[in-house]
Every structure is written in structure tokens, then in C-alpha cells.
């Protein structure tokens, strides 16, 4: 994605199943978001479900993402499949929402309805900040705003084909930690269920491809993201700032201690 790509251009690329790469943020730090937005990622995803910020932190991170020099748009993983949470994220200026714990087609339809204004959905009109980026007209918001359903539960996997066929859904997004637990893993990284996990990912990816919608996945690092994109996922996120901060700090500490001996 080129610098300064708009919400409309991002959403069009997502819907066209073009490859996009994003970064996951958990921190209540607009300074960090401002720097990350200039690295070259296509999007920054701010985690309001498990992240360490409230509404004001989400708003500040989105503001920081939209400043001069940014290559990224801001997405929000909302707290729940709830009309209020989804509406507040969109009103704050999110280009799209990632909706967790989607179990079936009705859940997906509810998420789509929360993103679209009447008569297409149930979103309440009050684009307090988003009107500055996406425009005040419902038709513009429908064209430029994306809704992504998370596949991370046993029911979500079982119903993934029906979920992907939901009218108005722009894409699905795999939550690998929860999905691995859902298929029987003892931990979020349990290697004993790796074969079943890979089979689940193939099913999800093929369901999205058959429906003509985007297929995304969460990844611990860039190498993992590259692998999943090569397999056929259309967008991939590298995660996450708080983890990488610790990893980099640890690596420098180990290097310093090693050099001092």
C-alpha cells in the first residue's frame, strides 16, 4: 500500500482479496501508534477486547494513526459483537471492525447489521469523528467501512462456510490461540494438535475463497505472516507491540551481558 492510502482504498483492496499486512497493538500509547503507522504497514489493529486501553485510548490511537506520514488505516477489534461497541469504534474513526467470537451465520449477520446504517442495518447515526475521514453520508460509510468476523471457536469452525456466505461480510479473521484451544489444544500453542490446526486453517481459507471474501490471520511474527500469505490468506497481522517490546528489550539485555563477560 502506498503512503496516504484512504479508508476507501483500503476497504476496496480488502474486498478485492489483495494482500495486506498489518500490525497488532495492545498498548494505550498514541506515541507508539504514531511511529508504527509510519513503518509501512497497511493497517494497525487496536485490540479493545484484550488490549490495555479504554475508549479514550482507542480514540487517541486512531488519531495518531491518521496523522501525516502514515501508511496505515486503523482497525479495531471490538470488545464483543455488540451494537454499541461496534458503533463507538466506527464513530471514533476506525476504517473497520474485527468482531470476536462469531459462532454462526446469525452472529455474522448481527455484526454486519451493527456496521451498516438503516435500511441495511442498525447502526445509530452519529459519526462524530468518522465523518472527517469517511464522510457523513451512509452510502459513503457502507462503501468505505469493513466488517470482519473472527473464526476462533468450535462452532465458528463448524459453521465457517455459512458465516463466509453472510451478505455484507467483508472477510473473516482467524484467532489462532482460541482456535487451537477450541480444537482440543491444552494451551494456545499446543503442538500436539498441529495437524488438526492446519486442517482447520485450510478449511477456513477455502471457505473464504469460495465466498469471495477476504481471509486474514493473526501471527506471532513476520515470518509466520509471510507463510500464511503464501498459503492463500489475503491479509495477515503481526502481533503484538507489548510482546515485541519485551522480546527486543530481552535480546538487548542478553547481548549486553554477553559482551560484558
Phi, psi of 199 (to 5 degrees): -65, -40
The alpha helices in the chain, defined as continuous H runs, are: 7-15, 30-36, 55-65, 83-91, 105-115, 138-144, 154-158, 160-164, 176-182, 194-211, 222-231, 241-260
Of 56, 58, 115, nearest to 90 by C-alpha is: 115
In the chain, what is the straight-line distance between the N-terminal and C-terminal CA atoms, in Å? 45
Residue 128, Cβ neighbours under 10 Å: how many? 11
Q: Record the cell numbers describing residue 253, joined without a space.
A: 539485555
* CA-to-CA dists, residue 245 to 27, 195, 249, angstroms: 11, 31, 6
> Does 252 qualify as catalytic in the annotation?
no
Tell me whether residue 158 is exposed, middle or buried, using C-beta atoms within 10 angstroms of its C-beta: 0 to 12, 13 to 18, 19 or more. Answer: middle
> Catalytic site residues?
50
Amino acid at each position: 500500500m502506498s503512503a496516504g492510502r484512504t479508508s476507501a482504498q483500503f476497504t476496496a483492496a480488502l474486498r478485492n482479496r489483495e494482500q495486506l499486512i498489518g500490525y497488532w497493538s495492545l498498548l494505550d500509547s498514541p506515541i507508539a501508534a504514531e511511529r508504527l503507522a509510519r513503518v509501512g504497514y497497511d493497517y494497525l489493529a487496536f485490540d479493545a477486547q484484550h488490549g490495555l486501553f479504554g475508549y479514550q485510548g482507542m480514540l487517541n490511537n486512531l488519531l495518531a494513526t491518521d496523522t501525516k506520514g502514515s501508511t496505515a488505516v486503523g482497525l479495531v477489534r471490538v470488545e464483543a459483537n455488540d451494537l454499541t461497541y461496534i458503533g463507538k469504534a466506527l464513530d471514533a474513526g476506525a476504517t473497520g471492525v474485527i468482531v470476536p467470537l462469531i459462532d454462526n451465520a446469525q452472529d455474522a449477520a448481527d455484526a454486519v447489521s451493527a456496521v451498516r446504517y438503516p435500511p441495511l442495518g442498525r447502526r445509530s447515526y452519529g459519526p462524530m469523528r468518522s465523518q472527517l475521514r469517511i464522510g457523513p453520508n451512509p452510502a459513503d460509510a457502507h462503501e468505505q467501512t469493513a466488517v470482519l468476523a473472527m473464526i476462533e471457536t468450535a462452532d465458528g469452525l463448524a459453521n465457517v462456510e455459512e458465516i463466509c456466505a453472510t451478505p455484507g461480510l467483508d472477510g473473516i479473521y482467524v484467532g489462532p490461540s482460541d482456535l487451537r484451544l477450541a480444537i482440543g489444544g491444552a494451551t494456545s500453542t499446543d503442538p500436539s494438535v498441529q495437524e488438526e490446526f492446519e486442517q482447520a486453517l485450510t478449511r477456513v481459507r477455502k471457505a473464504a475463497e469460495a465466498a469471495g471474501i477476504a481471509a486474514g490471520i493473526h501471527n506471532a511474527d513476520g515470518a509466520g505472516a509471510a507463510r500464511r500469505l503464501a498459503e492463500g490468506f489475503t491479509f495477515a497481522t503481526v502481533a503484538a507491540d507489548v510482546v515485541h517490546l519485551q522480546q527486543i528489550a530481552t535480546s538487548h539485555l542478553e547481548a549486553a551481558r554477553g559482551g560484558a563477560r
